[in-house]
Chains A and B, each alone.
Chain A
């Protein structure tokens, strides 16, 4: 996963003079991070100032990669996770012989985002203390409960069509109020804003769900993967190692939360439009 393309051919990683010239000219950005890390490790070991200047560049680069991927909904606005991964990154590149140091020389973005993923997963696992009833929903539910669940799911399963239908309704209202002579924003523009707000809100709502398995179940549901199925069928239950009832329960739970939040966004959008 080396993303850095269209970069200049770097001098040898041991060429302290060559890298010093590049650093002083403020041209590190023209070279692949992997080459800079190798130079940090080898040329930097001979020239402390070169190493510190390169550290400054790599520091900013790492911060941007990490901040982009860590939501502020995490503990301490995500800063703890960023600090942990960032510190590990610098500790690794200061030790050229460790496995991660080699990994960073091969793929800076790939290795850093991998470590970040691991750190987020670790924090989410630490936060996840499932309530007792959530562990075995199939055993807890009676047949009647199962039927009730099935009915609810079959009625609300398709989130996207439901949202589109509601957006159409809003669009009609906008046209009507415009005809009444009241100055309103362009309906087409308003519709775009509404769609954007809903997209953002869906992601923001999903980000509030601490259990990654539930988020994943919902995303697979949006991929039109069935909750369960016969043996050998690709299903949410199969992917997550759970039974069908649990998969259905999780999808319904996330969907209910989303519908509630999207309705709130829609109400705010309408108020902003002057209704």
Chain B
């Protein structure tokens, strides 16, 4: 990894980076003479600097899935860092506790992401067998501000501690755990919405 390089190397190349954003031949000769031990690095950085200078300065659009994926990676790193600092691994607290902490409700999440409320409820009640669909996972992680590892912990926690279903005349309340596909397909959503939620990016 780049950041494991020596401090001297970093200092020299960073100074070159800031002092010569579009290095000329004279710049390259000067810097490689001053720091011959990093000559190849200086030339490699110079080539990339010149590539960037020639690029059009246009902002790029990044799709929402990529941004959410990146956000999830960031949260993972933050959690890992916090765990490393505390030395204590995170514990699952339950989706309903996370809902309270995030100041939201199942119906709010369902409305916001455009999915049937029953699907989110089944997930939180511990009635959905993993794997949970990628689109739903990301949407819930975003709504509850948790990373993938925390989400996985919560799914397992909910499965191990499911809420009871309604009692029926024929017997006591039962827990019916179904797959994500079964739950989505029986949710009453339009065919188009069902297709969307079953599709993977």
Contact = CB atoms under 8 A, between A and B. Distances in A.
Contact of A95 (B18, B51, B55, B81): B81
B44 to A, nearest CB: 4
B10 to A, nearest CB: 7
Contacts of B47: 121, 212-213, 215-216, 219
Contacts of A114: 13-14, 17-18
A110 B17 contact: yes
B2 interface: yes
A225 B21 CA distance: 18
A229 to B, nearest CB: 11
B67 interface: yes
B52 interface: yes
B25 A225 contact: yes
Interface in A203-228: 203, 206-207, 212-213, 215-216, 219-220, 223, 225
B29 interface: yes
Interface stretch (B58-66, B123-131, B190-198): B58-66
B44 A125 contact: yes
A84 B1 contact: yes
Contacts of B28: 239-240
Contact of A207 (B13, B49, B51, B82): B51
Interface string A146-181: 000000000000000000000000000000000000
Contacts of B81: 91, 94-95
B178 interface: no
A85 B41 CA distance: 18
A245 B144 CA distance: 62
A80 interface: no
Contact of B73 (A1, A83, A100): A83
Contacts of A207: 51
A234 interface: yes
A59 B13 contact: no
B143 interface: no
A240 B2 contact: no
Interface of A: 1, 49, 51-53, 55-56, 58-60, 62-64, 67-69, 83-88, 90-92, 94-95, 99-100, 103, 107, 110-111, 113-115, 117-122, 124-125, 203, 206-207, 212-213, 215-216, 219-220, 223, 225, 234-236, 238-241
Interface of B: 1-3, 5, 7, 10, 13-14, 17-18, 21, 24-26, 28-29, 32, 39-41, 43-52, 54-55, 58-60, 62, 66-67, 70-71, 73-75, 77-78, 81-82, 145
Given A69-B55, A114-B14, A117-B17, 14 more contacts: A1-B17, A55-B75, A56-B71, A56-B74, A62-B70, A63-B66, A63-B67, A85-B2, A90-B78, A115-B2, A115-B3, A121-B41, A216-B47, A240-B28
11 contacts: A1-B18, A68-B60, A87-B73, A90-B78, A114-B14, A117-B45, A118-B2, A212-B43, A213-B44, A215-B51, A238-B29
